[in-house]
């Protein structure tokens, strides 16, 4: 499967190269060869089980040079993946949220280094997790410094994801809080793992940046 995965990534790189340079061998070979070469690799990736389904597209300033859809939307169903299948892009939304936040900074509606709680009040209640009581309840304290938009955009605010944090998992269980996959606001009530600015941790930071964008843009 690792071999097919590498080929899958190579196919994506080849399509990007074709889109970037009309002098590439794909561009010179013609549309039919481009499509067949990419189709073969992507179909093998699906057949090998590397992905349940995949949609791939490549464009140049002159137009689309490749489109392909393979596999299923869900392994448990026979519904095929199509070019217009709507998918959840998960963490790729961070790039969009970061861009929107910096647009708000450029417009003077947000500042990078002022307390984020000035814009999104619930952040005032965020505490740092320091341990566990004998009854299993979390022990927390106020952070040493306020969370800023800069912390959120650079993942240095102190937030974590339950996927990689046993402490967050334990907190959710102790406090009966849904995970971030629920897409519920209550999932954003987990504590910090360290004081803002102390170190880096991949977590729910961009969700709060998004809340700040909503607050000042009205969108």
Domains recognised in the chain with CATH numbers: 2-87 (no CATH), 92-217 (3.40.710.10)
Q: What is the pLDDT of residues 131-145, one digit of tens each?
A: 999 999 999 999 999
Average pLDDT over the chain, rounded to an integer: 88
**Beta strand spans in 72-178 (E):** 128-132, 138-141
The yes-or-no answer on residue 76 being catalytic is no
d(CA 216, CA 206): 15
Q: What is the pLDDT of residues 60-89, one digit of tens each?
A: 888 888 899 999 998 888 899 999 998 887
| Chain centroid offset of residue 136 CA | 32
Q: Is residue 207 over pLDDT 80? A: yes
The yes-or-no answer on residue 202 being catalytic is yes
Instruction: Say which of 35, 72, 127, 202 is annotated catalytic.
Output: 202
Instruction: Say which of 66, 94, 161, 165 is annotated catalytic.
Output: 94
The yes-or-no answer on residue 4 being catalytic is no
């Amino acid at each position: 499967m690792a071999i097919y995965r590498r080929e899958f990534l190579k196919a994506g790189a080849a399509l990007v190269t074709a889109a970037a340079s009309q002098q590439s061998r794909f561009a010179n070979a013609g549309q039919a060869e481009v499509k067949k070469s990419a189709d073969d690799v992507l179909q093998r990736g699906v057949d090998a089980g590397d992905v349940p389904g995949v949609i791939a597209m490549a464009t140049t300033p002159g137009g689309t040079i490749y489109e392909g859809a393979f596999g299923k939307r869900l392994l448990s169903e026979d519904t095929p993946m199509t070019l217009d299948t709507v998918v959840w892009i998960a963490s790729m939304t961070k790039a969009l949220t970061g861009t929107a936040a910096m647009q708000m900074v450029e417009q003077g509606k947000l500042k990078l280094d002022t307390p984020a709680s000035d814009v999104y009040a619930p952040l005032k209640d965020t505490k740092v997790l320091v341990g566990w009581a004998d009854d299993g309840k979390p022990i927390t304290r106020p952070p040493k410094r306020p969370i800023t938009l800069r912390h959120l955009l650079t993942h240095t605010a102190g937030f974590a994801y339950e996927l990689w944090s046993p402490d967050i998992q334990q907190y959710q269980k102790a406090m009966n809080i849904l995970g971030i996959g629920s897409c519920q606001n209550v999932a954003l009530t987990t504590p910090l793992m360290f004081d803002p600015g102390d170190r880096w941790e991949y977590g729910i930071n961009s969700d709060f940046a998004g809340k700040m964008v909503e607050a000042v843009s009205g969108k």
